[in-house]
Amino acid sequence: MAISFSPSALFTTTAAAAATTTTTATPPLNKPHLPIRSTTKLQLPNLTTTAITLAAATIIATSTIPPSIAAESYTTYYGTAASAANYGGYGGNSDKKASAEYIYDIPEGWKERLVSKVEKGTNGTDSEFYNPKKRTEKEYLTFLGGLRQLAPKEVVLNNLALSDVNLQDLIASADSVTSEETKDEKGQVYYVYEVDSAAAHSLISVTCAKNKLYAHFVMAPAAEWKKDQETLKHIHESFKTIG
> Is 157 in contact with 183 (CB distance < 8 Å)?
no
Selection from 52, 51, 40, 45 nearest residue 11 by Cα: 40
Kindly report the number of other CB atoms within 10 A of residue 103's CB atom: 16
Average pLDDT in the chain: 79
Contacting residues for 158 by C-beta, under 8 A, at least 6 apart: none
Confidence at residue 243, expressed as pLDDT on a 0 to 100 scale: 80
Query: In this predicted model, what pLDDT tens digit does every residue of 12-26 receive, in sequence order?
Result: 444 343 333 444 444
Mean pLDDT of 75-96: 73
The answer, yes or no, to whether residue 242 has pLDDT greater than 90, is: yes
The answer, yes or no, to whether residue 69 has pLDDT greater than 50, is: no
Confidence at residue 144, expressed as pLDDT on a 0 to 100 scale: 94
Contacting residues for 212 by C-beta, under 8 A, at least 6 apart: 81, 101, 143, 144, 145, 146, 147
| Residue bearing the bigger pLDDT, 101 or 90 | 101
The answer, yes or no, to whether residue 152 has pLDDT greater than 90, is: yes
Distance CA 9, CA 228 (A): 60
Specify which residues 205 forms β-bridges with: 192, 216
| Residue bearing the bigger pLDDT, 109 or 69 | 109
Query: In this predicted model, what pLDDT tens digit does every residue of 187-215 receive, in sequence order?
Result: 999 999 999 999 999 999 999 999 999 99
Least confident of 1-10, 90-99, 219-228: 1-10
The answer, yes or no, to whether residue 59 has pLDDT greater than 50, is: no
Q: Secondary structure of the chain: what % helix, strand, coil (to 5)?
A: 30, 30, 40
Confidence at residue 94, expressed as pLDDT on a 0 to 100 scale: 58
Mean pLDDT of 158-169: 92
Element (DSSP H or E) covering residue 60:
helix 47-63
Confidence at residue 49, expressed as pLDDT on a 0 to 100 scale: 52
The answer, yes or no, to whether residue 127 has pLDDT greater than 90, is: yes
| Residue bearing the bigger pLDDT, 10 or 223 | 223
Q: Pick from 36-40, 69-73, 131-135 the range whose average pLDDT is largest.
A: 131-135
